[in-house]
Chains A and B, each alone.
Chain A
Amino acid sequence: QKEVEQNSGPLSVPEGAIASLNCTYSDRGSQSFFWYRQYSGKSPELIMSIYSNGDKEDGRFTAQLNKASQYVSLLIRDSQPSDSATYLCAAPGYSSASKIIFGSGTRLSIRP
């Protein structure tokens, strides 16, 4: 089982709608979780970090963490064409020393 899993997509969402991106993780010891956005041909950029159960909001983005279900999600409200990118979920590898474990990414496409 992969340590961090995401649906590869593509996920197609109409402009203005809510895009919901999901991620599951296998290591119960993981304490922190990160969402990155990567545009084609560019390096990833950090969007959100979440450390405790519940929701964390930042502008149009909301990260949700449920440690009991080992589930992390990212909601993007009022989706814009500029949100079209690959979204990567990541967590420090508790049992993998100092690595950060990335999911394979979900490709999101916002259609006008």
Chain B
Amino acid sequence: GAVVSQHPSRVICKSGTSVKIECRSLDFQATTMFWYRQFPKQSLMLMATSNEGSKATYEQGVEKDKFLINHASLTLSTLTVTSAHPEDSSFYICSARETRNTEAFFGQGTRLTVV
């Protein structure tokens, strides 16, 4: 299957700082990328959908000023968690797909711990 690379895999940051997570599609052009958050033993929660060159569409309840998403090219999307707090600690996962009806491939995930 296609490869989606997410970096970093783990990050620990201090409360009040910002963290950037990168998601790259390595062998295909991703017209759409998705960002999820997952708490232990819970389902994937979609945070936002981003299409290349457009503003991201955020799910209800997700603060767009806190979770900044940039999808500047067909192979790269970034999620920046601004002014992180301990309650933002979670497993963040990106996925990418080439076209509307095709499957999406997931990155390895980023485990964020805010101390």
Q: What is the size category of the interface that chain B forms with chain A? A: 20 to 34
Kindly identify which residue among B46, B49, B102, B106 contacts A44, using a CB–CB cutoff of 8 Å: B106
A6 to B109, CA, bound (A): 24
Of the listed stretches B13-21, B77-85, B93-101, chain A binds: B93-101
Contacts of A104 in B (CB 8 A): 43
Instruction: Closest A residue to B107 by CB, please name it.
Output: A43
B102, A98: Cβ atoms closer than 8 Å: no
10 interchain residue pairs of minimum CB distance = A43-B109, A43-B106, A43-B93, A49-B103, A104-B43, A34-B103, A32-B101, A44-B106, A31-B101, A98-B32
Size of chain A's interface in residues, with CB distance under 8 A? 22
The yes or no answer to B34 lying at the interface (CB within 8 A) is yes
CB contact list, A94-112 vs B, under 8 A: 97-100, 102, 104-105
> Would you list which residues of chain A between 32 and 52 have a CB under 8 Å from chain B?
32, 34, 36, 41-46, 49, 51
Distance between A6 CB and nearest chain B CB, rounded to angstroms = 10
- The answer to whether B101 and A92 touch across the interface, beta carbons within 8 angstroms, is yes
- Report the Cα distance A51→B100, complex, angstroms: 13
Q: Which residues of B contact A46 (CB under 8 A)?
A: 1, 103-106
CB <8 Å contact, A98 and B51: yes
